[in-house]
Amino acid sequence: MRALPLVVLLSLCSACAPVRGAVASPPAAAAPYRLGPGDEVRVTVFGLDAANANYVVGDAGSIALPLIAPIRASGLTVDELAAALAEAIRARALVKAPSVTVQVQKYRPFYILGEVQKPGQYPYVPGMSVLAAVSIAGGYTFRANKKSAMIVRGGDGNVIKSRGPAQTPVQPGDTITVPEAWF
């Protein structure tokens, strides 16, 4: 009869043990967000109402405000773009000391392929993971490998391919492929 409490004790202790093979979620991206083609930004220039509007970063990576030449936005943070716009406005002598703010209105979409219910293009939501992307695409199919996905990230001509678990962060413009499970 003494073996029974020992079995109960061992089963309780094994329930508290860490799960083997579990992958810790990667830390949140510490680098600031870099703009790319397809992002929509809201530009506000105090003292120059003609420039206050929403602009989409074009395929060439630039935005065109009235009265100034197109400005390269791709690869810049919102603060860097605001500084570049302020310098261009100052160079054209449109405003002596321009105060420019830039905010991301819409992020470029992400793409999801493979073993999900509705593959396709979807709007990006800040802070999303592969699992959230799969949920937006209707969930996994019955054949899906739920343990990892392939993520292709292409920025400034550099294509980065990686595999990651469901907790892997997704960025705008990423292409996620959920593979088929083999057993």
Alpha helices in 35-156 (DSSP H): 78-91, 130-136
Q: Residue 3 pLDDT > 90, yes or no? A: no
> Of 128, 127, 134, which Cα lies nearest the Cα of 148?
134
- Write down the mean pLDDT value for the chain: 84
- Averaged pLDDT, 77-92: 95
By percentage, how much of the chain surpasses pLDDT 90? Answer: 66
**Alpha-carbon gap, residue 81 to 84, rounded angstroms:** 5
- Alpha-carbon distance values, 56 to 3, 60, 72, 84 (Å): 70, 11, 12, 16
Read off the pLDDT of residues 13-62 as tens digits, 9 standing for 90 and up.
433 333 333 333 344 445 788 999 999 999 999 989 989 999 999 999 99
- Start-to-end CA distance of the chain, whole Å, equals 42
Domains and CATH numbers, the chain: 40-106 (3.30.1950.10), 110-178 (3.10.560.10)
